[in-house]
Amino acid sequence: MPKPPRFFIDPSQVAGSSITIAGDDLRHIRTVLRKEAGELLTLLDGQGVEYTVRITDIRKDGISTDVIERKERSRQGPSVTLGQGIAKADKMDWIVQKATELGVSSIIPLVTERTIVKVKDEEKRIGRWQRIAREAAMQSGRPDIPMVHEIMSYRDFLARTPLNPPLARGEDKGGGSDASTGKGRPLLLIPWEEGTQPIKEVLRSYPAAETIVVLIGPEGGFSLDEADLAREKGFHAVSLGPNILRTETAAVAVLSMIGYERS
């Protein structure tokens, strides 16, 4: 028996044991999938709650459903923030899509020294990327949708984000962190062509890090000044191997490596 189709909803659409579906999903369910009363759907609130519902009524302005089952679906693995240098053309769309499929928690588009793209309508572009993330989350079966944040300059991101690098092995400053694993402190990574420390060594040195921040440069990568600034903030300048990767390849490679090591 095929699984019911999946759709994300806003938590405000849940009213006790019933959920009403409206908006773009209404049209898709009614005219594309041609669903009828009595059929099942899977609805997710984007925050880890999954509902199995039965359609009770289909109207032009909404679809009424009754909740059959409600269950919690927690995210697996660490929370990963991707600070991505804005890439050209449709590369950024592709990065958002694949990063979502690979489990990223949030995406922050960054303007760096070598960023070529000039975003004219930021609100429209962010909205597009958020829709891509939503569709990718639905397709990949994850229980939540990553947040695509406003565009920031690279330096503002480093200045405003409360970055707290993991302790080195054997160092103990108290505060409840595990010095040998990095638990309770973010793990900060900046893949860089001049990085000498293999990323797998860093990931294996901090197996319990619950938060990971990854910086990926645009076409042309990061400048030396940018890499130095990140390292001053506690980022590990890591190597992804002997070959230089395109920006979209680097993002996918890092997230895949994190998923492999932490799955």
Residue 1 belongs to a domain: no
**CA-CA distance, 52 to 40, in Å (whole number)?**
7
Last residue of a domain, one of 52, 72, 92: 72
3-state secondary structure of 165: coil
Q: Would residue 203 count as lying in a domain? A: yes
C-beta of residue 80 within 8 angstroms of C-beta of residue 46: no
Range of the domain at 44: 6-72
CATH code, 102:
3.40.1280.10
Domain end, chosen from 72, 94, 128, is at 72
The four Cα atoms 138, 141, 144, 148 give a dihedral, to 10 degrees, of -50
- Are residues 127 and 227 both part of a single domain? yes
In a structure prediction context, what are the per-residue pLDDT tens digits for the chain, which is 263 residues long? 678 999 998 888 998 899 999 888 888 898 899 999 999 999 998 888 999 999 999 998 899 999 999 998 777 789 999 999 999 879 999 999 999 999 999 999 999 999 998 888 999 999 999 999 999 999 898 889 999 999 999 999 998 766 554 444 444 444 444 545 556 678 999 998 887 789 999 999 999 899 999 999 999 899 999 999 999 999 999 999 888 899 999 999 999 999 999 87
The answer on 40 and 83 residing in a single domain is no
Q: Verify that 130 and 240 share a domain, yes or no.
A: yes
Per the domain annotation, does 205 fall within a domain?
yes
Residues 127 and 13 in one domain: no
Instruction: Identify whether residues 196 and 121 lie together within a single domain.
Output: yes
Residue 215 lies in a domain: yes
The DSSP H or E segment spanning 92 is helix 91-101
* Same domain? 111 vs 46: no
* Domain endpoint, select from 46, 72, 98: 72
HSE at residue 208, side-chain half, CA atoms within 13 A, is: 11
3-state secondary structure of 188: strand
At which residue do the structure tokens 């694993």 appear? 181
Q: What 3-state class would DSSP assign to 150?
A: coil
> What pTM was computed for the model?
0.83
120 and 151 share one domain: yes
198 and 255 inside one domain: yes
- Tell me: do 93 and 183 sit in the same domain: yes
Q: Do 125 and 243 lie in a common domain? A: yes
CA-nearest of 220, 219, 257, 225 to 238 is: 257
- Say if residue 100 is in the same domain as residue 173: yes
Q: Are residues 91 and 23 in the same domain?
A: no
State the total domains in the chain. Answer: 2
CA atoms of 37 and 44, how far apart (whole Å) = 20
